[in-house]
Amino acid sequence: MDEQIYQRESIPVNAGTRSSQFWEGFAKGLPIMIASAPFGLLFGALAVDNGFSVFEAVLMSAAIFGGASQMVGIELFGQHIPAWLIVFSIFAVNFRHVLYSAAVGRRIGHFKPLQSALSYFLLTDPQYAETEKRAESGKAVTFVWYLGVATPIYVMWVTEAWIGGLFGNLISDPHALGIDMLLPIYFLGLVMGFRKRDNWAAIVIASAVVSIIAYKTIGSPWHVSIGALAGIIVAVIVAKPERARGKR
Amino acid sequence: MSSIFWIIIAGAVLTFLTRIGGHLVLSRFERIHPRVEVALNAVPAAVLTTLVAPAAATADWRGLLALAFAGLVALRFNALTMFIAGAAAIILMRQFS
C-alpha cells in the first residue's frame, strides 16, 4: 500500500495545461461551495445576532476560514465568556488541522514557500479530502489545481458572511430547515468517501464511540481531538504494516 | 479596536499555526515510518467521524433517520447527491414535527 502510493507519486502523470488544471480543481470546489453555502450564510446571520458587526463577521470568515470554529467563537461570545477562552476554543476546534497538515505535506511538499504558506492557510476539511483523493488517483497535485479547488470555496465563504450578516433575519426558523443536521450530513459524506481504505470500519467505530463518550463527559470541543486519536491508535494497532508488506 | 477584532486576529493566527504546524514538525524527519504512514492514512476518517458521531448521538429521531438515509445514498451516489438527499430528508421530516 505505502510503496504503491510512492511509486505513483514518483511517476507524475501528465496533468494538462495550467488553466485546465485550475478548472479541474474548480469543478471539485464547486459542490463543496454549494454544500457549505448554508453554513456561510448562517454564520453571518448568527454572528450579527450575537453582537458582531457585518465587517467583523466578514473579517472572521476571511481570516479564520473554518466553519465549525467560527460557530463556536460566536456562540461563546454571545455567552460573555473571557476572550482568551474563546480564542482557545477556536484553537481546540481547529486542532485537527495539525493532522491534515502533517498528512498533506506528503502531497504538496513540492510547492514553493509562498505557495505553500497560502495552501496551508486554505487547508480546510474538504480541501484536505480532495487533495488526498487527487493524490491517490495518481494525478499530480499542483498549486494551480489546489487553488482551483480553494477559490470558489473561499470567495463564496467570505461573501456569504456578508450576505448572511445583512439578511440575518431571513432564516426565521433554523430548526425547520434542519440547519443543525446539514453539517453532520455533509461530514458523513466525507467519511463515506474514505470507506475503501484499509481498516476503515474499525477506525470509524473507534472514533465514533470515543468521541461520543468524550462529548458527554469532557465536553466539546475536545471530543474531536480525543475521538480522532482513538481512531488513529486503532488503525496503527490493527494495521501490522510489516506483515502486510511481506504478503505483497 | 474592539475585543471582537482581537479575538478574530488571535483565533486566525492560531488556526494558521494548526494548518501549517503539522507539516513543519513532520518535515523534520527524512523518511516516514510505516506506522506513521498508517496513522496518517487513518486521519481523515478518524477526524471527520468525530464531527458526525456526537451530532448523531444527540440528534432527534428525524435527524438520525436523515443521517442513516444519507449514509445509504452515499453507498451508490456521489457526495453532492448524498448531501442533497440528506438535506431534503431532514427538511421534509421537520415540516411535520
Three-state secondary structure of A62-109: HHCCCHHHHHHHHHHHHCCCCHHHHHHHHHHHHCCHHHHHHHHHHHHC
Say if the Cβ atoms of B70 and A185 lie within 8 Å: yes
In terms of domains, do A203 and A119 share one? no
**What is the structure's pLDDT at A86?**
85
Is B68 within the bounds of a domain? yes
The whole-chain average pLDDT of chain B stands at 89
**Nearest CB neighbour to A90, from listed B14, B21, B93:** B14
Instruction: Tell me which of A143 and A74 has the higher pLDDT.
Output: A143
Instruction: Tell me which of B21 and B83 has the higher pLDDT.
Output: B21
Contacts of A65 in chain B (CB under 8 A): 15
Write out the three cell numbers for A124. Answer: 480546510
Is B66 within the bounds of a domain? yes
In terms of domains, do A134 and A239 share one? no
Domain span at B49: 44-97
Instruction: Report how many domains make up chain A.
Output: 2
Instruction: Tell me which of A16 and A199 has the higher pLDDT.
Output: A199
Q: Are B86 and B70 in contact (CB under 8 A)?
A: yes
What is the Cα–Cα distance from A58 to A63, expressed in whole angstroms?
Answer: 9
Q: Are A104 and A127 in contact (CB under 8 A)?
A: no
Is B92 within the bounds of a domain? yes
Band (A220; pLDDT cuts 50, 70, 90): confident
The whole-chain average pLDDT of chain A stands at 85
Is A183 within the bounds of a domain? no
Instruction: Report how many domains make up chain B.
Output: 1
Proportion of chain B above pLDDT 70, given as a percent: 97
Helix (H, G, I), strand (E, B) or coil at A70: helix
| CB burial readout A207-226, b (16+ within 10 A) else e | bbbbbbbbbeeeeebbbbbb
Contacts of A175 in chain B (CB under 8 A): 94
pLDDT digits (tens, 9 = 90+) for B6-30: 999 999 999 999 999 988 887 777 6
Say if the Cβ atoms of A102 and B74 lie within 8 Å: no
Is A48 within the bounds of a domain? yes
Write out the three cell numbers for A233. Answer: 491508535
**Nearest CB neighbour to A193, from listed B4, B42, B79:** B79
Write out the three cell numbers for A234. Answer: 486503532
**What is the structure's pLDDT at A211?**
95
Q: Are B10 and A89 in contact (CB under 8 A)?
A: no
Extended strands (E) in chain B: none
pLDDT digits (tens, 9 = 90+) for A97-149: 888 898 898 899 899 999 999 999 999 989 999 999 999 889 999 999 999 99
Domain span at A207: 198-248
Given a cut of 80, whether residue A228 has pLDDT beyond it is yes
Is B60 within the bounds of a domain? yes
ipTM, 2 dp = 0.83
In terms of domains, do A170 and A214 share one? no
Contacts of A199 in chain B (CB under 8 A): 42
